[in-house]
Structure 1
Amino acid sequence: MVHDPDMATTRRRGRAATANHAGRFERYDRVVEADGWHGGGADAPLLRTEVADEVPSKVITRNTSPDLSFDRSINPYRGCEHGCIYCFARPSHAYLGLSPGLDFETRLIARPEAPRVLERELRAPGYMPKVIAIGTNTDPYQPIERERRIMRALLQVLSEYRHPVAVVTKGALIERDADLLGEMGQAGLARAGISITTLDPDLSRRMEPRAPAPAHRLRAIETLTRAGCPVRVMAAPLVPGLTDHELEAILSAARDAGAVAASTIPLRLPREVAGLWADWLAEHHPDRAGRVMTKIRDMHGGRDYDPEWGKRLKGQGIWADLIQQRFARATRALGLDTEQPRLRCDLFHRPPRPGDQLPLL
């Protein structure tokens, strides 16, 4: 939770946030000032990713949001190394006493015991299966998953229990698990959503610096589709004045890669994300920052963000209506204006384990 002058130069290379201000629950902020004793500028060390482990007492999180199509989710990680500057999950890092800024991208929490805890929850006598969503807060296929393999282990548990799962990611690492997701998808137990915000690799690298390039995400759609897992392309978040002109092109490219459905959500800037986004925009697109922010506020009732149910994921006003009209027209023309089939809950079963009570009959 340190505001460091060097973070404006070499230290944050490969990161999106421009600052690391304390979270909203902290009483104090810390400021580092150059004093001539330590190297700075070109000599400043790069910010490295740090990962700490957490042992959760439970991993299935419940929600009652009327805006969401699921009532339970799992997050293998807290924080996300993809570092998307617009990420609505950034404010959740404040609950850990960390900054939604650079801490969110560099100080991560892994939950290696999550698969074991999940199995315990699924074996509870009163558990009733419904679709579990994974990737709804932070990305389960961010870079550290390559070594940690927590998501892979979670999918293995869900596959063994024949439990339905919906995965959301912008990580091309999901291709690694096409065997599991493909088999489950063919059985009506899995589907995936791949987020593509832009087809411009340069803009993507600056806006979501450690996420795979757009072309790699399109390849992931193709891989999963071939394996048998239905994929929805998520043209989200759509940024008015910056990426909204790409909406039709994103949908078309995803359809050609094999996507069978689509969705879009305009950019939303809850809590600390608003300031982080404004700083990024001023640094990378100063010529259009005012226009972009004006359109964003027009879509959220004159504010940076409107958290009201029914509005926060769609926006309102002329720009929001125009995006929805374009989206409806494009998906209709591309054959993407379909609802994905409901995932099956009737196949759920608890595999026998040593020590289980045997049936009487």
Structure 2
Amino acid sequence: MDVLDRAARGERLEREELVELYRRPLAEVAAVAHALRLERAHPDHVTYLIDRNINYSNVCTVGCGYCAFYRTRRQPDAYTLSYEEVGRKVAELEAVGGKRILMQGGVNPDLPLEWYEGLLRYLKERHPDVRIDAFSPEEILGLERLTGMPAREVLSRLKAAGLDGVPGAGAEILVDRIRHAAAPARIPTADWVRIVEEVLALGMYSLASMVIGMGEGPEERVEHLLVLRELQDRALAQYGNGFSGFALWTMQLENTRLAGRLPGATAHEYLQTLAVARIALDNIAGHQASWPTMGFKVAQTALYYGANDFGSTMLEENVVSAASGNVRRSATVREIVRQIVEAGFRPAERNVFYEIVAEPDVDALLASPVG
């Protein structure tokens, strides 16, 4: 049976079959991906999340060549936010109806584990209804090395202090030959998988992520997807808990040391990989379209290439936007709802588990002059 026919029947495709999808006409792969999206997620709805990104510090010792956000501790524009400054940002989110923050920084050797615990307690005491997803696997690895504690103990202490989940950031392409050519000190694949598995074992949430444009080819992209799929299989079987969704971005290189040295990725490659991911990741239902890196129009198109979600408002984005002036830092609910409606779907607000929590009054929202 042809590989596309097998995919359309919902059969699990293996490595060579997934690589073969990259050789097929994109329209044919997209048609299968969209059909699977309609089966695996809310068929009429496209969801979105009201949240805020908070970058508590830009000090980092990893020094990735594709990152324009980080600073060394001695640079004049290095910063670490106070608890009060972070708290004000959370209050601003609550004022617009948001109940989730995505909080990340760098690997900052000046911040002990107790600082992170204190921040979490400070926020939970003042904003008990806000979900805190924070500290990437790279940051957890940094705390592991700083404290000498295993990741399980670090994460257990952070969870006790108020941590709800850990972002799936830092995955990029989970093939060490590719990731270490661009960032030699970046967290190795095995450590990323190990730490995320500890997160899931403790009953917390994480997001499966992928960044293309690092010089990888179809084989490496498929390898990355298989690492995610196998981890999800294992986590669901052993812990009853896994990735809540999948997000794909393209590498933004404009303002980085690697501008002109890494190829980046085109809109065609983005849509192609998004469609392949929908077929490959049969155990993850929620797939995001990336309006920050691709723009609204490509994100709308992505809703017919396997995506069923329009991402989040973010309110503030600093890391990706530092690497490229073409990246939007935030979007209003009205803007997101308009894009979803224009693409032919019904918008619905969701939580981090891709469960619909509300449907907006579209007519009133789009008629409003602001918001």
- Structure number with the bigger relative contact order (C-alpha 8 A, sep ≥ 6) is 2
Question: Using the alignment, how far apart are the partners of 1:211 and 1:105 within structure 2?
Answer: 18
Matched with 1:247 is 224
Pick the aligned partner of 2:243 from 257, 260, 269: 260
Give the secondary structure class of the aligned counterpart of 2:174: coil
Report % sequence identity.
13
Of residues 70-79 and 174-183 in structure 1, the stretch that sits farther from structure 2 once superposed is: 174-183
1:158, distance to aligned residue in structure 2 (A): 2.5
Q: Given that residues 253 and 259 in structure 2 are in contact (C-alpha distance below 8 angstroms), is that contact kept between their aligned partners in structure 1? A: no
- Partner residue in 2 for 1:166: 133
Contact 2:207 2:244 (8 Å CA) reproduced: yes
Equivalent residue for 1:212, pick from 182, 187, 198 = 187
Give per-residue Cα distances to partners, 1:14-62, cap 9 Å, x unaligned: xxxxxxxxxxxxxxxxxxxxxxxxxxxxxxxxxxxxxxxxxxxxxxxxx
CA distance in 2, matches of 1:254, 1:145: 32
Match of 1:232 in 2: 207
SS at match of 1:86: coil
One-letter amino acid matched to 1:272: N
Matched, 1:278 2:260: yes
Instruction: Specify whether residues 325 and 119 from structure 1 end up closer, same or farther in structure 2 by C-alpha distance, changes over 3 A only.
Output: closer
Q: CA RMSD in A?
A: 3.9
- Corresponding pairs, count: 224
Indicate the residue corresponding to 1:221 in structure 2: 196
SS of residue in 2 equivalent to 1:109? coil
Q: Where in structure 2 are there 5+ consecutive unaligned residues?
A: 1-46, 144-150, 236-241, 288-351, 358-371
Kindly state the Cα deviation for residue 149 of structure 1 after the two structures are TM-superposed.
5.2
Match of 2:78 in 1: 109
**2:198 alignment partner AA:** T
Alignment of 1:1-361 (within 5 A): 69-87=49-67, 90=68, 107=75, 109-111=78-80, 114-119=82-87, 127=95, 130-135=98-103, 139-140=104-105, 142-144=107-109, 147=112, 150-160=115-125, 161-162=127-128, 163-167=130-134, 169-171=136-138, 172-173=140-141, 175=151, 176-181=154-159, 190=165, 192-237=167-212, 239=214, 241-242=216-217, 243-256=220-233, 258=235, 259-273=242-256, 276-279=258-261, 281=262, 293=263, 296=264, 299=266, 316-317=267-268, 319-332=269-282, 335-338=283-286, 340-341=352-353
Runs of 5+ unmatched residues, structure 1: 1-66, 94-102, 282-292, 300-315, 346-361
Give the Cα separation in 2 of the matches to 1:77 and 1:343.
31
Whole-Å Cα distance in 1 between the matches of residues 91 and 50 of structure 2? 20
Contact 1:83 1:208 survives alignment (8 Å) = yes
| Greater share of helix | 2
Scaled by the length of structure 1, the TM-score of the pair is 0.50
SS in 1 for 2:258: helix
The question of whether the paired residues in 1 share the 8 Å contact of 2:136 and 2:166 is answered with: no
Distance 1:321 1:166, change over 3 A: same
